[in-house]
Structure 1
Amino acid sequence: MSELRFSLADVAGVRLAVSPVNETVMSMWAVASPVYYAVHLPWIDRARVAMRRPEVADRVRPLAELVRPSSWLPDFLTPAPRPNVEMAEQLDQIAATPPDVVVRDLLATTPRRPLGPFGQALLADPRGLLPQLVDALRVWYDEAIAPDWPRIRALLDADVAYRAAQLAESGAGRFFEQLHPSLRWHGDRVVSDDPFERDFDLRGRGLALNPSVFTSRGVCWNLLEDSLPVGAYPVRAVGTLWEAAAPPPGDPLARVIGPGRAALLHLLDTAITTTDLARLTGMSAGNVSQHLAALHAAGLVGRSRQGRHVLYRNTDAAGVLLRASRGG
């Protein structure tokens, strides 16, 4: 069990953001242990095809060696994300990690499992070999994550918008208890039901939180005394990530407003972008935009901006229509 102690400044400093490098790193767990990530099997099949290519496998090996099942991650691999941060910025941040921090974070992983050959070499020469690890991250992102990043990002952005509204409406205590079943707010601290036994004072630095599609069994903490504390928590609605959407057979709503618009309404219980709606439905982005404009004009869909993205979500009126069409 871990405890994170908050001051008023820490409560005010809680923020939410999306981390491309976090998804890149943690996706390696899914490739290595697909039985625990069955929801991602469509993606895992594609990622394993990429990994079997020798030119990819050789360059990604340093990352695969450090991100092992049942092993702790070196914390410098998952830095705190800034709002709207891009992968290239996070790679630059990792590349600039001081050698003593690389060594410290590598040694922190060894109580559970010894380092492999690359880890040992990186421990001995962090300045010389860190670029090789950064290259592995870049290659794995380009090969395995980037093709699906619009879909993944849309789900993560929708979660950030949802959680930000929760924080504003409910306050920090209720927010953390809704974030994951393993968390509870107790006085001036968050108590996390985990095996790490940390007692950590945030010391006025706040806490960065990022949703993750590849974090499945709890909140993964990155708690260091000299950097912004971070928590990666499981994203909502991850089961919808790889689905192709269509209205249910015989859907009465589709007969009234058309199958395309009905398909969108069935997906918009969660806020989502035009790009991801196009991927999920198989429609062109132009067709999706036309349908959304009509649904918005009819008061069935609302929209909001989250950073660089516009998110769409059903209104209460759409919810009434959907419940009626589903027989609810």
Structure 2
Amino acid sequence: MGEIRFGVDDLAQLRFAVSPLWESVAALRTTVDPGRHALHLPWIKTALAVGAARTDLLPRLSALEALVPPPRCPLAEIEEELAVLTGQPDHADGLLGWWRAGVRPYWPRIRAVLEADLAYRTRQLAEDGIQEVFAHLHPSLRWAEDRLTGAGLPARGMALDGGGITLAPSVFTPRCVLLPGRESGPGRSGTAPCLVYPARAVGTLWERRAEPGDGLARLLGRSRAGLLGRTSSPTTTTGLALQTGLSPGAVSQHLAVLRDAGLVTPHRYRREVYYRASELGLALLGPGSEDGPA
């Protein structure tokens, strides 16, 4: 057991982020022992066939996990994160190859689950406060007074000293992992530590999603019906464009129509706007359209 100690300034510096680099490394770890990750077997069967992009990295897996930096912004691109690995060109090139072959083809689906988690946690923070956020991140964590305790946290304790902390959901990480902060130096700025935790509703990740029925498609148009079906969990215009193949501009236009009809509601988090089906929209989609289990 270990702990992280928070000051008043640290509570104000709580951030949320998604790290495609961490997800790539955690995904690689998942393929090592498929029996322990039965939930991901639909993806693992494909990932095992990737070949050199995966095999070359396996002997370096532990070192790669230690190299992953805390994410600097809420929705970073993997190229931005790899740029931080200065002096590690072999690692960076290998990870980029694995990302392109094993993870990027499935990233829209993965990112949708991660973004839905971010929207849920930020809403929980606004409505119920930080205690509720930490109380529901993972069963191993406990929040009391000014500190977070749990397995995987620094055994000697760690004070944040006003720099705050980043929370990052992961679909491939079954437990909490702390990515240490990076001090500032020549050519780079410092970053706060990051606590990676298992995302909500991972059980829905590889489910086949039924397309909206013909009746709904005739009512709304097939593109709008398809977009509505993908907003049962909060997602962004970019995420919907990646999932459907529509241009971001077309997605924005369709979402505006759905919003004006009361079928989706927007929710802003920093620079991103998340759209979620309203009660009316969920009713049109029918049974089984609610978010997956926590």
Scaled by the length of structure 1, what TM-score is found? Answer: 0.72
1:5 aligns with 2:5: yes
Does 1:219 pair with 2:176?
Answer: yes
Amino acid at match of 1:185: W
SS in structure 2 of the partner of residue 94 of structure 1: coil
* Equivalent residue runs for 1:48-197 within 5 Å: 48-50=48-50, 52=51, 54=52, 56=53, 61=56, 63-67=57-61, 74-95=65-86, 130-194=88-152, 197=155
Give the whole-Å Cα distance in 1 for the aligned partners of 2:28 and 2:279: 39
Distance 1:2 1:253, change over 3 A: farther
Give the structure with the higher percent helix: 1
Q: What's the CA shift for 1:85?
A: 2.1
In 2 relative to 1, CA 244–196 (structure 1 residues): closer, same or farther, beyond 3 Å? same
- 1-structure distance, mates of 2:271, 2:43: 26
For residues 213-242 of structure 1, give each alpha carbon's deviation from its aligned partner in whole angstroms, at most 9, with x where no partner exists.
1112x2111235845211111112222222
Query: Partners of 2:208 and 2:231 in 1: how far apart?
Result: 14
Cα distance change of structure 1 residues 36 and 259 upon mapping to structure 2, 3 Å threshold: farther
Q: How does 1:38-49 map to 2 (within 5 A)?
A: 38-49=38-49
Per-residue Cα deviation, 1:119-142 (whole angstroms, up to 9, x for no partner): xxxxxxxx5xx2211211121112
- Cα offset, 1:159, TM superposition: 1.9
Matched with 2:209 is 245
Paired residue secondary structure (1:179): coil
Q: Classify the secondary structure of the residue corresponding to 2:136.
A: helix
Secondary structure, aligned partner of 1:85: coil
> Which of the pair has more CA radius of gyration?
1
Query: Is the 2:47–2:102 contact (alpha carbons within 8 Å) kept by the matching residues of 1?
Result: yes
Q: Quickly say closer, same or farther: Cα 1:230–1:143, change in 2 above 3 A.
A: same
Q: Which moved more, 1:136-145 or 1:151-160?
A: 151-160
In 2, distance between residues paired with 1:298 and 1:81? 37
Distance between the aligned counterparts of 2:230 and 2:163, measured in 1? Answer: 37
**Residues in 1 aligned to 2:236 and 2:69: alpha-carbon distance in whole angstroms:** 26
Shift of 1:193: 3.8
Distance 1:145 1:74, change over 3 A: closer
1:299-314, aligned counterparts within 5 Å?
A: 299-306=262-269, 310-314=273-277
Secondary structure, counterpart of 2:29 in structure 1: helix
Deviation at 1:195, TM superposition (A): 8.1
Inter-partner Cα distance in structure 2 for 1:35 and 1:285: 37
Q: What is the aligned partner in structure 2 of residue 236 from structure 1?
A: 200
- The gaps in structure 1 that reach 5 residues or longer are 96-126
Q: C-alpha displacement at 1:13, in angstroms? A: 1.1
Q: By how many angstroms is 1:274 displaced?
A: 5.0
> How far is 1:201 from its partner?
1.4
Identical aligned residues as a percent: 39
Unaligned runs of 5+ in 2: 184-190
1: CA distance, partners of 2:179 / 2:251: 39
TM-score (norm 2): 0.79
Q: State whether residues 150 and 275 of structure 1, in contact with CA within 8 Å, keep that contact through their aligned partners in structure 2.
A: no
Deviation at 1:167, TM superposition (A): 1.4
CA deviation after TM superposition for structure 1 residue 279, in Å: 7.0
Specify whether residues 159 and 195 from structure 1 end up closer, same or farther in structure 2 by C-alpha distance, changes over 3 A only: closer
Q: CA RMSD in A?
A: 3.4
Residues 225 and 154 of structure 1: is their aligned pair in 2 closer, same or farther, counting only changes over 3 Å?
A: closer
